[in-house]
Amino acid sequence: MAMLDILLNAKENGLVDDEGIQNEVNTFMVEELIIQEINQVLGESNDQPTFHELQESKYLERVLEEDIVTRVGYVLPKDAIINIHIYDVHRDPEVVSRP
């Protein structure tokens, strides 16, 4: 069964609405574009991407930045300096199940 058929079936059963279907289709399209970009940047290599190769992945970068803005709710100013306290994060029960 094709993805759209599954979504339409789910809609008939009240499991998803039109907005949910649109979000799933958008996610699928974004994933396909990211896969195409990665294949273009990495070529036939099965190695882990290098820092330089990741820098060439502009679409992936934009998607990740948008996701961060969506989840966090604000954009850091250019040249902002941030500190992540790894020690505290690793001991936060909301982040790590067994700190």
User: Over pLDDT 70: what percentage of the chain?
Assistant: 96
**Nearest-angstrom CA–CA distance, 52 and 62:** 16
The model's confidence at residue 1, banded by pLDDT at 50, 70 and 90, is low
pLDDT digits (tens, 9 = 90+) for 40-70: 988 887 788 888 888 888 988 888 888 877 7
pLDDT digits (tens, 9 = 90+) for 4-25: 888 888 899 998 899 988 888 8
**Nearest-angstrom CA–CA distance, 55 and 51:** 6
Predicted confidence (pLDDT) at residue 86 exceeds the cutoff of 80 = no
pLDDT digits (tens, 9 = 90+) for 30-40: 889 988 998 89
pLDDT of residue 12: 92
CA atoms within 13 A on the CB side of 64: 8
Kindly list the domain boundaries of the chain, sorted by start residue.
3-89
